[in-house]
Amino acid sequence: MDSCHHFYDIYPEERMRDVSRPGYNPNERPATPDGMKLAPPPNRSVMHPIFPMAYRKILELQILAPHSYFSVNQIFELISYFPPDSSAGYLRLQVIISLFSHIVDLENMYLIFDNVLSFDERNELFHRVGIMNVLDPMRPERLYRLDLRRNDHREWVKILVYLATNDPGGVWEEVEYRWGKYDEPVPGWTLPSTWTRADDGGVNGGPRNFGWLQVRYRCQTRVGVATALGARKVMRKRTLAGMKRAVL
C-alpha cells in the first residue's frame, strides 16, 4: 500500500512569478528539497511476510469492534503487536483507523501520535482520518508540516495562529514557508499580520490557501506555572476532541 502523499504539485497563479526564475524548466520535475522528502514508498511487488496473518487479525478485530469501546491505552497495546515498518502496509494505522470511532478518550490520542507513530505514519493518519479529528488544541506543542491547499490543514493553521496571539507564552519556532513542495523556504518569512484577521479565504484575511508551512508550536510558560487554557478551550470546540464524549 503506497503512501498517498507522493503527488505532483499544481502551482496557483500567485506562484507563477517564481517559476520565471532563471533555469526553470516546466518540462522537468524538480527535485524535492531535503526538508520535504518523505520515507521511500513501500515495495508493492513483494508482500511483507507478516501481512496475511496480521491483516486477518485486523479483520477479526473489525468484526468484534462494533459492540466495544476502547481507551487510548488499549489502542496503544494493540498496535504494539504490529510491525511499524510501512512496507507492511501501514498495519498499525489500519488498527487505529478500524477502531478510531470507538475511542472514548480522544484527548489522549497525543500519547500515540507523539510517542509511537513515525513521521510518515503521522502524515498518513492526517490524510486518512484528518488532522482536525486526530489532534487536540489542548496539547499543540509539536512540529507541524502543513499543506495549505488542504482545508483541514488550513483550519489547523488558523488554530495555531490564534494560539500564538492569545495563548500566554505560545510561540512559533522553526518556521518555514514554501510556495510549493519543490521550492526552497522563503528567506526571512514571518507570520503575516493578515493571517490574524477574519478569514475571507486568504485574500485579505486568514492563511493563504496555497503553499507549505512548517512550524513548531511551543509554550514558553515557566516550569511550575500552569498555562492559561482559555484560548485552547475555545479552539478545542472546533475539533472532534472537543465534541466527542465517552459513551459507556
DSSP per position, the chain? ---TT-------GGGTTTTTSTT--TTSPPPPPGGG--PPPP-TTS--TTHHHHHHHHHHHHHHGGG--B-HHHHHHHHTTS---GGGTSHHHHHHHHHGGGBS-GGGTHHHHHHTS-HHHHHHHHHHH-HHHH--TTS--SEEEEETTSHHHHHHHHHHHHHHHHSTTEEEEEEEEESSTTSPPPTT----GGGGSPPSSSSSSS--SSSEEEEEEEE-PPTTSPPP-HHHHHHHTTSGGGT-----
pLDDT for res 100:
93
Cell of 245: 464524549
Q: What is the mean pLDDT of the chain?
A: 81
Helix axes 91-99, 72-79, angle to 10 degrees: 150
| Whole-prediction pTM | 0.80
Q: Is the pLDDT of residue 237 over 70?
A: yes
Find the mean pLDDT for residues 191-199: 90
Residue with grid cell 516550569, as numbered in its chain: 223
The CA distance from 47 to 167, in Å, is: 48
Tell me the pLDDT band of 29, cut-offs 50, 70 and 90.
low
Q: Is the pLDDT of residue 22 over 50?
A: no
The contacts found for 222-229 with CB under 8 angstroms, 24 or more apart, are 227/167, 227/168, 227/169, 228/167, 228/168, 229/138
Q: Is the pLDDT of residue 219 over 90?
A: no
Q: Is the pLDDT of residue 19 over 50?
A: no
Tell me the pLDDT band of 204, cut-offs 50, 70 and 90.
confident
More confident residue, 28 or 163: 163
pLDDT for res 5:
41
Tell me the pLDDT band of 47, cut-offs 50, 70 and 90.
confident
Find the mean pLDDT for residues 69-90: 86
Tell me the pLDDT band of 245, cut-offs 50, 70 and 90.
low
Q: Which phi and psi (to 5°) does residue 104 adopt?
A: -95, -10
pLDDT for res 21:
45
Q: Which of 138-147, 148-157, 168-177, 208-217 is predicted least confidently? A: 168-177
pLDDT for res 175:
93
pLDDT tens by residue, 83-121: 887 667 789 999 999 999 999 999 999 999 999 998 888
Q: How crowded is the C-beta side of 245, counted as CA atoms within 13 Å?
A: 1
